[in-house]
Amino acid sequence: MMNNQCPAADEAGGAGVQVTAYTQTWSDIVARLGDSAKAGQVMGTTTR
């Protein structure tokens, strides 16, 4: 199971709220989450 980095944003998505997040590179996301698979989960649930 993925460690949710922002539970409020995750739950708000079900209510139709849009969140805009910026990063410079894929490596930044991987470094923050510590794992490429977790980064992939984040991208999969945030890009629609």
User: What are the E-state strand segments in 1-48?
Assistant: none
pTM above 0.95, yes or no: no
pLDDT in tens, 1-48: 345 556 676 677 677 777 787 888 999 989 988 999 988 888 887 765
Give residue 15's pLDDT. Answer: 78
Which residues have a Cβ under 8 Å from the Cβ of 10 and sit 6 or more positions away? 4, 45
Give residue 31's pLDDT. Answer: 93
Give residue 17's pLDDT. Answer: 79
Which residues have a Cβ under 8 Å from the Cβ of 3 and sit 6 or more positions away? 33, 38
Asked if residues 33 and 41 have their Cβ atoms less than 8 Å apart, the reply is: no
Give residue 36's pLDDT. Answer: 92
Give residue 34's pLDDT. Answer: 92
